[in-house]
């Protein structure tokens, strides 16, 4: 999980994004007016995951005007422009994420996270892959064993929505923030085929509201 500080001006965005990529990207040039996946991946902290690159870019440009965003998007390589069309994020309220959210898609949700410490506070499980020789199977484990879990609410409904991030990351403060991640399903232990609800696996967040 990585904190994002959104760009304040298109000049700032271009200076950071048009960076030439990593040292082994010999063909990519910095400050040439073109941004490719190697350059975006360097800033986003990932290698080749286009879905997460798009999520990073959307949050990074979120404070720019529409015209300023268009100015940046025009400089993207053809493959990044295609990725934006494919992975553009759904913007959801916590109260509508279960009903309207589309699983496996990028999602951006705003709210105040309340950390859940006790396993008894909810009964949710996730599927994790397990390798046995060359065979991959799936096992259900409590989500709280794998992630730090938080509840989000909004002013429209008292219904809580769960967000989650790796236990390797620091615990989030209890203040209003914007979260970007991938929407996944939460399952019941007794019925492995029926999801109880959705949750957001967080990859990026911002407190620059």
Kindly report the pTM of this predicted structure.
0.87
What pLDDT shows up at residue 119? 61
Whether the CB-CB separation of 72 and 54 falls below 8 Å is answered with no
- The predicted-structure confidence for 42-68, as pLDDT tens digits, reads as follows 999 998 899 999 999 999 999 999 999
Q: What is the DSSP string of the chain?
A: -EE----SSHHHHHHHH-B--STT--S--BTSS-B-HHHHHHHHT-SS-HHHHHHHHHHHTTTS-HHHHHHHHTTB-HHHHHHHHHHPPEEE-GGGHHHHPPTTSEEEEEE--EEE--GGG---EEEEEEEETTEEEEEEEEHHHHEEEEEE--SS----EEEEEETTSPPPPSS-EEEEEEEEEEE-SS-TTSEEEEEEEEEEEE---
- The predicted-structure confidence for 151-197, as pLDDT tens digits, reads as follows 998 887 778 899 999 988 889 999 999 999 999 988 876 655 554 68
- The predicted-structure confidence for 66-112, as pLDDT tens digits, reads as follows 999 999 999 999 999 999 999 999 999 999 999 999 999 999 999 99
- The predicted-structure confidence for 137-147, as pLDDT tens digits, reads as follows 777 778 888 89
For the chain, domains (ranges, CATH) are 2-88 (no CATH), 92-206 (2.40.50.140)
């Amino acid at each position: 999980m990585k904190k994002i500080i959104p760009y304040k001006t298109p000049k700032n965005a271009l200076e950071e994004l048009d960076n030439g990529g990593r040292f082994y990207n010999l063909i990519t040039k910095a400050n040439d007016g073109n941004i490719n996946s190697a350059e975006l991946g360097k800033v986003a902290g990932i290698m080749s995951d286009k879905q997460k690159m798009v999520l990073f870019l959307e949050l990074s440009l979120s404070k720019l005007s529409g015209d300023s965003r268009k100015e940046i998007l025009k400089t993207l390589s053809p493959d990044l422009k295609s990725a934006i069309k494919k992975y553009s994020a759904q913007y959801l309220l916590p109260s509508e994420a279960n009903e309207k959210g589309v699983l496996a898609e990028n999602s951006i949700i705003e709210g105040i996270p309340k950390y859940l410490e006790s396993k008894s506070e909810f009964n949710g499980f996730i599927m994790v892959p397990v390798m046995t020789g060359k065979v991959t199977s799936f096992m259900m484990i409590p989500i709280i064993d794998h992630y730090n879990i938080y509840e989000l609410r909004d002013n429209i409904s008292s219904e809580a929505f769960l967000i989650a991030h790796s236990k390797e990351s620091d615990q989030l403060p209890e203040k209003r923030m914007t979260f970007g991640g991938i929407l996944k399903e939460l399952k019941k232990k007794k019925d492995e085929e029926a999801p109880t609800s959705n949750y957001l696996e967080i990859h990026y967040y911002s407190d620059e509201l």
